[in-house]
Amino acid sequence: MKNLFSVDGKIALITGGSSGIGEMMATGYVMNGAKVYIASRKMAECERVAEELSAHGTCIPIQADLSNMDGIEGLSAEIEKREGKLDILINNAGANWAAPFEEYPESGWDKVFDVNVKAPFFLTQKLTPALRAATSTADPSRVINTSSINGLNVPDLETYAYSASKAGIIHLTRVLAKKLAPEINVNTIAPGPFQSRMMKETLERLGDAYLEAMPVKRIGCAEDAAGTAIFLGSRASAFITGACIELDGGSHTTS
């Protein structure tokens, strides 16, 4: 019982782990004893965060552009070459595109779906052998997908592909949970507003409205993201798969 919420000694890969919610999750994992690989398209930023986190444990940067299959296959091959097994895969890298309905471009739609839906599916597919190599009956390997509360709510912003893709990853989570059980648990987190690069402009314009609408009267912080990711990566959640955790301060269920 004392080790229910432990990720000590586990090997984790977090895509988009050099900023925002991904960095928050990576920080929580590293500080609680996991060996963490963070992947990002921008290597300089990835190296900076990995160096900072390495003061508290083990964090290794890998450059990867997950908008295409070459990047997906390259990242999975690098993990298999270095480790051979993987306890936790967090598909967190994301893209957004906002434009008026009448002007919404195909290029923006494709970019968002390539990163937000296609990449999590194929990276999970490629890393399934490594995940199976680390699993046990008592504590299965984990895939954790990052969705958004916008995949459940209808947002005011004109982010059509983003909302659709985040709804898609919630259902894809359920499909993969059925397919990969019992060796691998697959769950998703649907965050509400957090301080992140993607949310920066929105919070600057609409922050007061967000706070007023939220029952807890605050936006998410690093401990919220890290704690949820640690729970889903630990023995404590071994009996949970196909679930979506709404990490939004109650805004969805009380709206």
* Residues labelled as active-site residues: 162
- The H-or-E segment that residue 216 falls in is none
Q: To which residue do tokens 């450059």 refer?
A: 63
- In 10-87, beta strands by DSSP E: 11-15, 35-40, 58-63
Strand partners, 183: none
Asked if 62 contacts 50 with a C-beta cutoff of 8 angstroms, the reply is no
Nearby residues of 75 by Cβ (< 8 Å), 6 or more positions away: 13, 15, 39, 62, 64, 66, 123
Phi, psi of 184 (to 5 degrees): -130, 125
Residues 35, 230: Cα–Cα separation, whole Å: 13
Residues 119, 177: Cα–Cα separation, whole Å: 17
- The H-or-E segment that residue 183 falls in is none
Asked if 166 contacts 218 with a C-beta cutoff of 8 angstroms, the reply is no
Nearby residues of 142 by Cβ (< 8 Å), 6 or more positions away: 87, 88, 89, 184, 185, 186, 187, 232, 233, 237
